[in-house]
Amino acid sequence: MNCILQVFQNELTCSICRNYFVDPITIDCGHSFCRPCFYLSLQNRSVLDHCSECQKAIQQKDFHTNVTLKQMVLTVRQARLWQFLRSRDNRCRIHMEAKQIFCEDQRSLLCLHCSTSQEHGAHRHCSVEEAAEQHREKLLKTMCSLWEKCCENDRNLIVESVATRSWEIYVISRGEAIRAEYDELAQIYHTEKQQHLERLQREGKEIFDQFQDSEARMAHKRQLLRGMYTELKEMCHKPDVELLLDFGDILQRSEAVCVHMPQPVKAELTAVIIPGLIARAMQRLSLCIMEALALITSYKEI
Per-residue model confidence as pLDDT tens digits over 194-253: 887 888 888 888 888 998 999 999 999 999 999 999 999 999 999 999 999 999 899 999
Do 194 and 257 share a domain, yes or no? yes
Do 183 and 198 share a domain, yes or no? yes
CATH number for the domain including 11? 3.30.40.10
Q: Is the pLDDT of residue 289 over 60?
A: no
CA distances from 36 to 14, 55, 229, 268, 269 (A): 11, 19, 8, 39, 42
The top-scoring range by mean pLDDT among 54-63, 74-83, 285-294 is 74-83
CB 264 within 8 A of CB 213: no
Report the pLDDT value the prediction gives residue 302, as an integer from 0 to 100: 41
Question: 123, 152, 176 — which closes off a domain?
Answer: 123
Do 142 and 265 share a domain, yes or no? yes
Question: 84, 113, 144 — which closes off a domain?
Answer: 84
Do 278 and 157 share a domain, yes or no? no
**Mean per-residue pLDDT of the chain:** 83
Q: Is the pLDDT of residue 181 over 80?
A: no
Do 172 and 54 share a domain, yes or no? no
- The tens digit of pLDDT for each residue in 25-64 reads 999 888 999 999 999 887 666 445 778 888 888 887 788 9
Task: Report the alpha-carbon distance of residue 24 to residue 17 in Å, rounded.
Answer: 12
Region 89-106 average pLDDT: 89
Do 238 and 285 share a domain, yes or no? no
Helices (runs of H) and strands (runs of E) counted in the chain: 9, 5
How many structural domains compose the chain? 4
- pLDDT band at residue 279 using 50, 70 and 90 as cut-offs: low
Do 115 and 171 share a domain, yes or no? no
Region 160-167 average pLDDT: 83
Q: Is the pLDDT of residue 166 over 50?
A: yes
Q: What is the pTM of this model?
A: 0.79
Report the pLDDT value the prediction gives residue 205, as an integer from 0 to 100: 87
Do 136 and 266 share a domain, yes or no? yes
- The tens digit of pLDDT for each residue in 117-158 reads 877 778 888 899 999 999 999 999 999 999 999 999 999 998
Count of CA atoms in the C-beta half-sphere (13 A) of 162 = 5
Residue 22: give the domain boundaries. Answer: 1-84
Do 136 and 256 share a domain, yes or no? yes
Do 62 and 156 share a domain, yes or no? no
Task: Report the alpha-carbon distance of residue 135 to residue 236 in Å, rounded.
Answer: 9
Report the pLDDT value the prediction gives residue 130, as an integer from 0 to 100: 93
